[in-house]
Amino acid sequence: MTPLLALLSATAAVLALTGLAKHFLIASPRLPTWPAYAFTGMVGSPIRETARAIVCLYMDFKLTRIALYKRSDIDGTLGHVDYTFFSGPLSYMGRVLEGLRPAP
C-alpha cells in the first residue's frame, strides 16, 4: 500500500468514526446533549448552510429550498440546502465540493 493511499484510508476512517460519534453521542434528539447541540447550532448551522449554498451556486446547481436554521427534534437536523444538479462529470466534482463544505 502506498503511503498516500494509507493516509487517505486513515483519514476516511477517522472522518467516518467522527461522524458516527457525532450522530450517536451528541446530535441525537433522544440524548441529554441535544439542547446544547441545538443551541450552538443557531450559530454554526447558518454558516454551514450558507457555505453549502455558495458552493451550489458556484457550481451552477439550482437551489430549490434553503433553511439556515430549522431545528428538527425528530431526526436531529438543524438546517438544509436542497438543490438540483445537471448530469455530467463536473456535476460529480460539484457534489464532492458541496459535501466538503465547512463542517462543524
Q: Please write the tens of the pLDDT for every residue from 9-20.
A: 878 777 676 666
**Cell numbers 428538527 correspond to what residue?**
72
Whether the model pTM is above 0.75: no
Q: Please write the tens of the pLDDT for every residue from 48-92.
A: 888 888 888 888 889 999 999 888 877 778 888 888 888 887 887
Query: Amino acid identity, residue 57?
Result: L
CB 81 within 8 A of CB 52: yes
CB atoms under 10 Å from CB of 73, counted, come to: 10
Average pLDDT, stretch 1-14? 77
Query: Amino acid identity, residue 65?
Result: R
- Integer-rounded Cα Rg, in Å, for the chain is 16
CB 80 within 8 A of CB 90: no
